[in-house]
Amino acid sequence: MKLGYNFLTGSGKAAQNAGKHGSRNAPQTLCDLLPCPAMDYLWTPWRYNYVTNTDKASGCVFCEVLQEPDDEKARIVYRGTHCFIILNTFPYTSGHVMVVPYAHLDELQKLPPDVAQEMMALSQRMEGVLRELYRPDGVNLGMNIGKAAGAGVAGHIHMHVLPRWVADANFVSVVGETRILPETLDVTWRRMKEAFGGSRVGMPTPDA
């Protein structure tokens, strides 16, 4: 059974009784630590520097990276008609990519239908590539829209697609604040570029 933890704050009988279900050494004070079999926690301390410095960057990183003609240097795996696929520079796992529209828009509902359709089509294709290259136990796919939702680049929506394995967030990441990745970003880029057949469909204009 997988265990997570809930933090219960309070005092009196309710808190004391709740504490009885926790560990024998759990604190019996205002904060009782309780096991929660229904909740998993993925701690990512190695991303703290990235998250805390995002607001300090000027401009949009996605719009700026499109001006780089060298896809390997930009870590762009694929350029489609309306969207492109780029490696995450601070990946959770090897193979972590983002599907990004060329248009600088901050909400999914603002995407024109053809752009939204291509974003989903590329996400589907990316899932297949990840399953072929990495043989993962599962795949995470999703987006955070808005800063409050956890978006690192809140002004330009993007879809995360990444392979996952059972217990891939181990004690080294949580305690040592170190993420162990089996391959470098350069190797990941080359493998994915080859899987996409070196395609370079669309090249947006600087004002796209």
Q: Greater confidence, 153 or 15?
A: 153
Residues 79, 150 within the same domain: yes
Domain of residue 150, CATH code? 3.30.428.10
Residues 8, 88 within the same domain: no
Phi-psi region of 160 (alpha: psi -120 to 50; beta: other; left: phi over 0): beta
Residues 50, 135 within the same domain: yes
Residues 28, 125 within the same domain: no
Q: What is the mean pLDDT of residues 83-103?
A: 93
* 3-state helix/strand/coil string of the chain: CCCEEEEEECCCHHHHHHHCCCCCCCCCCCEEEEEECCCCCCCCHHHHHHHHHHHHCCCCHHHHHCCCCCHHHHCEEEECCCEEEEECCCCCCCCCEEEEECCCCCCHHHCCHHHHHHHHHHHHHHHHHHHHHHCCCEEEEECCCCHHHCCCCCCCCCEEEEEECCCCCCHHHHHHCCCCCCCCHHHHHHHHHHHCCCCCCCCCCCCC
Please check whether residue 10 lies inside any domain of the structure: yes
Model pLDDT for residues 113-159, shown as the tens digit of each residue = 999 999 999 999 999 999 999 999 999 999 999 888 888 888 999 99
Q: What is the distance, to the nearest Å, from the Cα of residue 48 to the centroid of all Cα atoms in its chain?
A: 13
Residues 23, 102 within the same domain: no
Residues 56, 134 within the same domain: yes
Please check whether residue 206 lies inside any domain of the structure: no
Residues 180, 82 within the same domain: yes
Q: How many domains does the chain have?
A: 2
Considering 2-11, 37-46, 164-173, 191-200, the range whose residues carry the highest mean pLDDT is 191-200
Please check whether residue 204 lies inside any domain of the structure: no
Please check whether residue 207 lies inside any domain of the structure: no
From 21, 82, 156, 158, active-site residue: 158
Residues 69, 32 within the same domain: no
Told to judge if 158 belongs to the known catalytic residues of this protein, a careful annotator would answer: yes
Residues 22, 114 within the same domain: no
Residues 126, 161 within the same domain: yes
Residue 88 pLDDT exceeds 70: yes
Triad 94, 96, 101: Cα angle to 5°: 155
Q: Greater confidence, 128 or 168?
A: 128
What is the rounded distance in angstroms from the CA atom of residue 6 to the CA atom of residue 32? Answer: 8
Residues 52, 87 within the same domain: yes
Residue 34 pLDDT exceeds 90: no
Residue 196 pLDDT exceeds 90: no
Model pLDDT for residues 62-72, shown as the tens digit of each residue = 999 999 999 99
Residue 168: its pLDDT value, please?
Answer: 72
Which of 166, 162, 143 minimizes the C-alpha distance to 154?
143
Using pLDDT thresholds of 50, 70 and 90, give the confidence band for residue 184: confident
Give the range of the structural domain holding residue 24, as residue numbers without chain letter: 4-36
